[in-house]
A and B are shown apart, each in its own frame.
Chain A
């Protein structure tokens, strides 16, 4: 399959996909919780970055911001050069759908639909023409090594296979950014190894921009670039 960048914004190698500039996120509880403090982060096209940290450190908040599921309290977030801070709910949804692929710890598959349907559903909101969806889904499933499971229901698959379906769904529409939230949290070590190998392959061969958020040091260490987050502060490890 060809992983083309979405039309609209010119994206070249080395062009920053993600730019966080002085981003803070404060939750209006009493007392207020400073989940992220003046975070600056740039992720270039084709980079593979892991974000690690203990629970409560602000990992999930950062992921929600990167995935346009949440808004920063202050600061600027540019995705593919688009300033997302000004966008309304609708625009954020469409940017999210077209430019970001999500992989969740809990897979979030529709258990009453086939594997193929699950990957097709990932494209219905993205203005991808109907006749392109199935070929794209099949190509993505082949890419993750699940071509033989196309007509299965997700609840008949192993955990590793389910996560592969979720990855196929996340890459089928050729996103600018693949966001993975604890992708191996529900998997055993052998399966974790296979999934991590798949990520590395997607990064190296297909040039996908990959952000993996995890609390697992071993998983985190496999990324070429590792960012730590503790108490809402980012530190880049060498």
Chain B
């Protein structure tokens, strides 16, 4: 009975580390390749996650409180609105609605001007969109007034010829103040301007439009029914309100109305992550592949350089598998160290990018934990061929060839 040669795990680790440290510079450069690859992967996954999270946070603020109700477009038939004029009042009763208002385009003939005379040197008549709206419009699009006031229900009920104008209109018409209630002409009709809008968070077309009360539009322009309803909800209520609004507005045939909301945040996040991921994961994968080839190359060179050592170890009793194991483990160690460094660098990159953009860094916990394993696997795979080469050497040839 002959006791077989042994190469215990502790000895394997010791010899492999000693082998790596015999050429520290080369080992570090080789490790760098894997570190870059793993780092790119970790940073990519983290930044995609962070950016996705960030986009969702921004969406929450505005889009997740918005609902728009419109008549369903019916193919063939002309669009028939079933929205009632008291839509704003009806919806305000729903729990979760902050403000609701109708908005419709008013078909006007002729241009809009502020002065009652023709100046041959300047354009004085312009074409702007004219809208009719209910009194809560400003709140439901989260707008603010630059000066003056928005019209109220009284204006609408009396069909007063008043209008609120967007800042772009005010600019073209040279209106800056409304305390004198300046008059503008819409076609042949005169309206007094009672307010100028400063900013709106939604429906930016209002910035270059003239808005009059619903009642005025019905009286003067025979407006049939509101075209759409803008609803501002409390955060998180938009999906609920979107289901309830058509029923509240048209209990007899809610199917004729369609409520639109921003996309589900989770869906948005996924799309963003997929976009970022697909691009950079490929990049990280290529880097990792290059890193693997680097390791394979260095280990192969190391095998050729250490032929004498391989011969010596065979003479000292090492079997082929002990030789293969040692080179394989050296390769694995380089990959593993690269993975650890890469994971750390990747996390730092995520934190750095987040700090710069004032984002909240988000990263799945398994990513930095799995990264060293990925590095080790890369090293292991890269080491297979060189290790087999080392193991296949005949001890006689190895001893003769190397010193």
Q: Name A's B-contacting residues (CB within 8 A).
A: 8, 64, 67, 69-70, 82, 87, 89-91, 93-98, 100, 102, 104, 106, 108, 110, 112-113, 117, 121-122, 124-127, 130
**Residue B3 interfacial (CB < 8 Å):** yes
Q: Of A95, A104, A125, which is within 8 A of B6 by CB?
A: A125
Are A91 and B4 CB-contacts (below 8 A) given A112-B22, A124-B11, A124-B15? yes
Smallest Cβ-Cβ distance to A166: which chain B residue: B312
**Residue B403 interfacial (CB < 8 Å):** yes
Are A69 and B4 CB-contacts (below 8 A) given A104-B399, A110-B309? no
Q: What 19 additional pairs, Cβ within 8 angstroms, besides A89-B320, A108-B311?
A: A8-B2, A69-B399, A70-B396, A91-B2, A95-B2, A96-B317, A97-B318, A98-B317, A100-B315, A104-B399, A106-B308, A108-B308, A108-B309, A110-B312, A113-B18, A113-B22, A117-B18, A121-B316, A127-B3
> Could you tell me which residues of chain B, from 256 to 306, have a CB within 8 Å of some CB in chain A?
none
Note all chain B residues with C-beta closer than 8 A to A90. Answer: 4-5, 319-320
Provide the bound-state CA to CA distance between A124 and B10, in Å. Answer: 10
The reply to whether B396 and A94 contact each other, CB–CB distance below 8 Å, is no
**Residue B313 interfacial (CB < 8 Å):** yes
The reply to whether A97 and B396 contact each other, CB–CB distance below 8 Å, is no
Provide the bound-state CA to CA distance between A225 and B66, in Å. Answer: 105
Smallest Cβ-Cβ distance to B12: which chain A residue: A124
Provide the bound-state CA to CA distance between A87 and B5, in Å. Answer: 14
> Could you tell me which residues of chain B, from 1 to 59, have a CB within 8 Å of some CB in chain A?
1-8, 10-11, 15, 18, 21-23
The reply to whether A69 and B396 contact each other, CB–CB distance below 8 Å, is yes
Closest beta carbon of chain A to B21's beta carbon, Å: 7
* Interface core residue of B1, B5, B318 (most chain A CB under 10 Å): B5
Note all chain B residues with C-beta closer than 8 A to A112. Answer: 18, 21-23
Provide the bound-state CA to CA distance between A95 and B2, in Å. Answer: 7
Note all chain B residues with C-beta closer than 8 A to A67. Answer: 315
Q: Of A8, A64, A108, A125, which is within 8 A of B5 by CB?
A: A125
Note all chain A residues with C-beta closer than 8 A to B317. Answer: 93-94, 96-98, 125-126
Note all chain B residues with C-beta closer than 8 A to A8. Answer: 1-3
The reply to whether A93 and B15 contact each other, CB–CB distance below 8 Å, is no
Note all chain A residues with C-beta closer than 8 A to B309. Answer: 108, 110
Smallest Cβ-Cβ distance to B311: which chain A residue: A108
**Residue B155 interfacial (CB < 8 Å):** no
Closest beta carbon of chain A to B145's beta carbon, Å: 80
The reply to whether A124 and B7 contact each other, CB–CB distance below 8 Å, is yes
Chain B 75-100 near chain A by CB (<8 Å), digits 1 or 0: 00000000000000000000000000
Closest beta carbon of chain A to B402's beta carbon, Å: 8
The reply to whether A125 and B316 contact each other, CB–CB distance below 8 Å, is yes
Closest beta carbon of chain B to A68's beta carbon, Å: 9
Provide the bound-state CA to CA distance between A95 and B399, in Å. Answer: 18
**Residue B322 interfacial (CB < 8 Å):** yes
Total chain B interface residues with beta-carbon distance under 8 A: 32
Provide the bound-state CA to CA distance between A206 and B176, in Å. Answer: 114
Closest beta carbon of chain A to B73's beta carbon, Å: 79
Note all chain A residues with C-beta closer than 8 A to B2. Answer: 8, 82, 87, 91, 94-95
Q: Of A94, A110, A113, which is within 8 A of B4 by CB?
A: A94
Provide the bound-state CA to CA distance between A130 and B1, in Å. Answer: 23
Provide the bound-state CA to CA distance between A76 and B243, in Å. Answer: 94
Closest beta carbon of chain B to A224's beta carbon, Å: 26
The reply to whether B18 and A64 contact each other, CB–CB distance below 8 Å, is no
Are A94 and B308 CB-contacts (below 8 A) given A89-B319, A121-B316, A122-B316? no
Provide the bound-state CA to CA distance between A192 and B144, in Å. Answer: 102
Closest beta carbon of chain B to A88's beta carbon, Å: 10
Note all chain B residues with C-beta closer than 8 A to A127. Answer: 3, 5-6
Note all chain A residues with C-beta closer than 8 A to B15. Answer: 121, 124
* Interface core residue of B7, B10, B314 (most chain A CB under 10 Å): B314
Provide the bound-state CA to CA distance between A163 and B159, in Å. Answer: 114
Provide the bound-state CA to CA distance between A112 and B313, in Å. Answer: 15
Provide the bound-state CA to CA distance between A64 and B314, in Å. Answer: 12
**Residue B143 interfacial (CB < 8 Å):** no
Note all chain B residues with C-beta closer than 8 A to A98. Answer: 3, 5, 317
The reply to whether A96 and B315 contact each other, CB–CB distance below 8 Å, is yes
**Residue B254 interfacial (CB < 8 Å):** no
Which 4 pairs between the two chains have the least Cβ-Cβ distance? A97-B317, A112-B22, A125-B317, A94-B5
Provide the bound-state CA to CA distance between A70 and B399, in Å. Answer: 12
**Residue B148 interfacial (CB < 8 Å):** no
**Residue B395 interfacial (CB < 8 Å):** yes
Note all chain A residues with C-beta closer than 8 A to B23. Answer: 112
Chain B 380-401 near chain A by CB (<8 Å), digits 1 or 0: 0000000000000001100100
Are A126 and B399 CB-contacts (below 8 A) given A93-B314, A93-B317? no
Q: Of B5, B21, B320, which is within 8 A of A126 by CB?
A: B5
Closest beta carbon of chain B to A100's beta carbon, Å: 8
* Interface core residue of B8, B315, B399 (most chain A CB under 10 Å): B315
Note all chain B residues with C-beta closer than 8 A to A82. Answer: 2
Provide the bound-state CA to CA distance between A106 and B2, in Å. Answer: 30
Note all chain B residues with C-beta closer than 8 A to A121. Answer: 15, 313, 316
Closest beta carbon of chain A to B20's beta carbon, Å: 10
Provide the bound-state CA to CA distance between A127 and B69, in Å. Answer: 83
Provide the bound-state CA to CA distance between A124 and B2, in Å. Answer: 17
The reply to whether B319 and A94 contact each other, CB–CB distance below 8 Å, is yes
Are A125 and B10 CB-contacts (below 8 A) given A69-B399, A96-B317? no
Note all chain B residues with C-beta closer than 8 A to A91. Answer: 2, 4
Note all chain A residues with C-beta closer than 8 A to B5. Answer: 90, 93-94, 97-98, 125-127
Provide the bound-state CA to CA distance between A102 and B314, in Å. Answer: 11
Smallest Cβ-Cβ distance to A130: which chain B residue: B10
Q: Of B311, B313, B320, B399, which is within 8 A of A125 by CB?
A: B313
Closest beta carbon of chain A to B318's beta carbon, Å: 5
Note all chain B residues with C-beta closer than 8 A to A93. Answer: 5, 314, 317-320
